[in-house]
Amino acid sequence: MAGSRSTSRMLTASEVADRLHVHINTVRRWSNQGMIKAYRIGPRGDRRFMEQDITNFVQEFATNHDNRKVTPQ
């Protein structure tokens, strides 16, 4: 494909929310905070997310946050 550097699919905020099992407003907040890279498209500025960016976000989150219980002292 001419001009295509990646085969990564673009996802809507709703699709990202479904994949991550969070509310769509959480995805928007993470985007606003720069935690997830979003691309603005169209005159309304709709957000789109690269599938690979979401995969990287999940892997980074899993690496930085383990699932061990913290026992209050």
Q: What is the DSSP string of 38-58?
A: -EEETTTTEEEEEHHHHHHHH
The model's pLDDT over 5-14, given as tens digits with 9 standing for 90+, comes to 556 799 999 9
Q: Which CATH architecture has domain 10-58?
A: Orthogonal Bundle (1.10)
CA distance 73 to 63: 25
Determine how many CB atoms are found less than 10 A away from the CB of residue 54.
20
Domain locations in the chain as residue ranges: 10-58
pLDDT, mean of residues 58-63: 88
Higher per-residue confidence, 67 vs 51: 51
Q: What is the pLDDT of residue 65?
A: 73
Of 23, 47, 44, residue with least CA distance to 36: 47
The model's pLDDT over 24-58, given as tens digits with 9 standing for 90+, comes to 999 999 999 999 999 999 999 999 999 999 999 99
CA distance 30 to 37: 9
Q: What is the pLDDT of residue 6?
A: 54
